[in-house]
Structure 1
Amino acid sequence: MPHSEYDTEPRIDTSIKHGDWRDDLYRDGYYVVKGVLPTEKAQSYVDRMFNWLESFPYGFKKDDKSTWNPKHLPDHIKGGMFYGYHCQHEKVLWDARTEPAIIDAFAKLWGTSDLLVSFDGMNFTLPAEHPPSEPWPHVDQNPIRKGMQCIQGILNLAPNGPTDGGLLVMKGSHALNEQFFKKFPEKVGRGTWGSIDWFGFEKDEVTWFEDRGCELVKVCADPGDLILWDSRTIHYNKLPESQNLRAVMYICYTPAAFASEEDRRKKVDYYNSKLGTTHWPHANIFHQEDKHLRLGKPDTYSRDAPFEEAEETELVLKLAGVKAY
């Protein structure tokens, strides 16, 4: 997309006051919507995520904690982030994406229920002696993009407290994002991991935000809560200090009308190939190729499709961009 068009990209008008949680999201850059799913439903997703781990030939068993280690797990990063094996299109993830209460929260945010959903992964960090987390503060919105254009989401499925692994956000940093890149324009084009909407911050750059009142917050949530945050908010994932399970799904929706025809077609191709994309549902349709490595070596096992494919309902096809609203 030419840079001249970035100023006219669709976004949320954050000047409007609603008298509800949207105002807190606009102000702080994040918010926890409580009780989107019942606790029992959240636990059912956790059980199904355990079943997914048991579907691999590495010997993982839910009821045998001696197998709760990387030797018995499929490939993952940062303690428990799963993006390989076409897991983004597992039935368990699509079932969560089509939960009415989750869609309703994003429909309220965007003012429309005609939404696209991201083909994102999940985090299932098992209790273990994890090494201390190295901070990797970043944003998931290109500095050239203006305003609130993407709200990321985490469906939280297990109790998540102050010492558990989870999301850290720099409260209020979204409101200073544009000011930072205006002051330091040379940083805009700094290399990233490949996705044009990923930008990592160095320690002194984070200090710049702290000096202007931004506070690093560990976001806590109960099973069934939905964590939302502005993609301009500095954030990162940390490993647990506790011995508690972390179970989440990364789910994000934006209006279908935001997608260009080119991006919609690309999204449909990725859906048909059962590939994952970025956190963005309507733009930056980007896939990180699976290197098929596990424990640092080529994995002898691979999948060319999800283990359990979702039913292609009308809602699934609309959220994937295959069918029009």
Structure 2
Amino acid sequence: MPHYESEPKIDTEVLTGDWRDDLFRDGFVVVKGVLSPEQAQGYKDRMFEWLETFPYGFKANDPSTWGKEHLPEHMKGGMYHGYKVQHEKVIWDARTEPALIDTFAKLWNTKELLVSFDGMNLTLPTPDMQPSTPWPHVDQNPKRKGMQCVQGILNLAPNGEHDGGLVVLKGSHKLNELFFKTHPETKGAGTWGSFDWHGFDEEEVDWFKQRGCEMIKVCADPGDLILWDSRQIHYNKVPSSDKVRAVMYICYTPASFASKEDIEMKASYFQQRIGTTHWPHANIFSQEDKHIRLGKPDIHRRERPAYEPEESDLVLKLAGVKAY
């Protein structure tokens, strides 16, 4: 898939007088109270119920079953992208929350949005939890200029300094273009193919730090929405506390940004219940599920979600199946 230098983007030079100014300036923002604490708890409970649909012995009310031998396959401590989880009813119900859509509509100045087919993170405190190695990266190819994708985390549990979660290199989005322009030899630069992803080594991260960027662990309350520019360097940190981390990765962009071909592919993936990337309107390709668990073929692989989403008019429009 080609990357276009003239793709649509948002004007980040305007002053809005609200949380958008923080996003444009710092590259991230926590929008407070998008959902109520009670709504957040409900979604968290349903995520636990999803884990109980597997025959691995997990019980939400029994922490002795919270180890990886009782869980579906996941990565980085609790990131779930297999088993058609991207199309579970619980995630689609969250994607259609009016307050969530309204927040992104305010950012993009339109309610005619597409949503990403992304997964979730339910990281459980267990004795076998290993510290994670930082994997700083961006999710936007440098050939795409400006703010074209703003990623989102719907936070569903208290998330403090030691509870794991999103770490960002504050302000690095503003140096993204300069970095790739002055580092043409950087591994992966110019060879990203269809992937809007690039990982940075320690020396490259130091380049940003030397120019004033600071590593920040983003903290949030249940019901808060964390937003960040896809050009911002970031990674997911495993908790060092005994608290549960529960989030959904949800991102919207204007339907008008998508090409006819990408809309058709997105609609097809929805019907097949295939997950894609953080990008709702472009870079539409399948997230491969290797069907491997604990190093062996997973006999409980899934071709459909445990709970199918309701194919409402709004769901079909967000999925690209129906036009606005």
Post-superposition CA distance 1:188-232 (Å, at most 9, x none): 744989752000001100000000000000000000000000000
Letter aligned with residue 92 of structure 1 = V
Q: In 2, distance between residues paired with 1:173 and 1:164?
A: 23
Which residue is 1:299 aligned to? 298
1:16 to 14, 17, 26: 14
Q: Please report how far the alpha carbon of residue 186 of structure 1 lies from its aligned counterpart in structure 2 after TM superposition.
A: 2.6
Deviations 1:44-91 (A, max 9, x none): 001100100000010100111110010000010010000101000000
Letter in 1 for 2:107: L
Report the equivalent of 1:41.
39
The answer (yes or no) to whether the contact 1:192–1:199 under 8 Å persists in 2 is no
Q: Identify if the C-alpha distance between structure 1 residues 2 and 66 changes in structure 2 by more than 3 Å, giving closer, same or farther.
A: closer
Q: 63-72 or 247-256, which moves further after superposition?
A: 63-72
Amino acid across the alignment from 1:22 = R
8 Å CA contact 1:278–1:286 kept in 2: the answer is yes
Q: CA deviation at 1:288?
A: 2.3
Give the aligned partner of residue 140 of structure 1: 139
2: CA distance, partners of 1:45 / 1:105: 19
Q: Retained in 2: the 8 A contact 1:192–1:200?
A: no
TM-score, with length taken from structure 2 = 0.97
- 2:252 alignment partner AA: Y
Instruction: Give the direction of change, closer, same or farther, for the CA distance of 1:226–1:197 in structure 2 (3 Å limit).
Output: same
Q: Which moved more, 1:124-133 or 1:180-189?
A: 180-189
Closer, same or farther: CA 206–43 of 1 in aligned 2, 3 Å: same
In the other structure, the counterpart of 2:85 is: 87
Question: C-alpha separation between the residues in 1 aligned to 2:182 and 2:210?
Answer: 15
1:131 matched residue in structure 2: 130
TM-score, structure 1 as length reference:
0.97
Quick one: structure 1 residues 192 and 40, their matched pair in 2 at CA, closer, same or farther if it must change by over 3 Å? farther
Matches of residues 190-269 of structure 1 in structure 2 within 5 Å? 190=189, 195-269=194-268
Question: 1:55 aligns to what SS in structure 2?
Answer: coil
Q: Using the aligned pairs only, state the percent identity.
A: 71
1:99 alignment partner, one of 70, 90, 97: 97
Q: Deviations over 1:91-149 (max 9, x none)?
A: 00000000000000000000000000000000000012322210000000001110000
Gaps of 5+ in 1: none
Deviation string 1:281-308 (CA, Å, 9 cap, x unpaired) is 0000021211100011111111110000
Please state whether the residue corresponding to 2:5 is helix, strand or coil.
helix
**Local SS of the residue matching 2:185:** helix
C-alpha displacement at 1:8, in angstroms?
A: 1.2
Distance 1:296 1:194 in 2: 29
Residue of structure 1 equivalent to 2:287:
288
* SS at structure 2 position matched to 1:10: coil
CA contact (8 A) 1:143 1:188 kept: no
Using a 3 Å threshold, how does the CA distance of structure 1 residues 205 and 124 change in structure 2: closer, same or farther? same
* TM superposition shift of 1:33: 0.2
Q: Give the aligned partner of residue 31 of structure 1.
A: 29
Contact 2:2 2:194 in 1 (8 A): no
Q: Distance in 2 between matches of 1:108 and 1:115?
A: 11
Equivalent residue letter for 1:13: D
Give the counterpart of 1:109 among 99, 107, 110: 107
Which residue among 42, 49, 53 is the counterpart of 1:55?
53
RMSD (CA atoms)? 1.3
Deviating above 2 A after TM superposition, structure 1's stretches of 4 or more consecutive aligned residues are 186-195
Structure 2 distance, partners of 1:213, 1:195, is: 31
Cα distance in structure 2, aligned partners of 1:39 and 1:56: 27
In 2, Cα distance between the equivalents of 1:49 and 1:84?
A: 14
Give the C-alpha shift of residue 2 in structure 1: 4.4
Distance 1:113 1:321 in 2: 14
1:301 aligned partner, one-letter code = H
Provide closer, same or farther for how the CA distance between residues 293 and 59 of structure 1 changes in structure 2, counting only shifts above 3 A.
same
Give the count of matched residue pairs: 323
Correspondence for 1:74:
72
Q: Name the SS of the counterpart of 1:7 in structure 2.
A: coil
